[in-house]
Amino acid sequence: MKSRAASNQAFTNEEVRDLLHQALQAVAYVHRNGYMHRDIKPENFLISEGLEGQILKLADFGLARSINDHQSKLTEYVSTRWYRAPELALSTLNYNQSVDIFALGAMMAEMYLGRPLFPGRTEQEQLIQIFSVMGTPK
């Protein structure tokens, strides 16, 4: 995505659809098997050229965590700020795999816009960015 932005070469609708479909399949596999990735961001997807187009693979499971592990507490610092769900920006210790889905949505928007959707520099600014786009929660 960085090289596309630098060259002002936008993703086509078909590329976004195909890459996001593969990303959703990868994350669904992780979730189905009882884990959350917790660090979904463009840098953690590897793309190669295959015979039938681009092939996307999910990487970097260093922050992955079992959904069913109730013995140890969840950590509040996960995910890169620009892709962090609001509950993580609020430092909650009560979250689930939906944080991965939020990050995928932020990535999809970035692919269409050619720039990050929520480029906050601090936790507070991150929340302001999210609320300015999605509205203030009730």
> Which H/E stretch holds residue 46?
strand 45-50
Partners of 58 in beta bridges? 45
Establish whether 39 is a catalytic residue: yes
List the catalytic residue out of 18, 39, 60, 69.
39
> At 107, is the secondary structure helix, strand, or coil?
helix
DSSP 63-130: T-EETT--SSPPPS--S-GGG--HHHHTT-S---THHHHHHHHHHHHHHHHSS-S---SSHHHHHHHH
Active site residues: 39
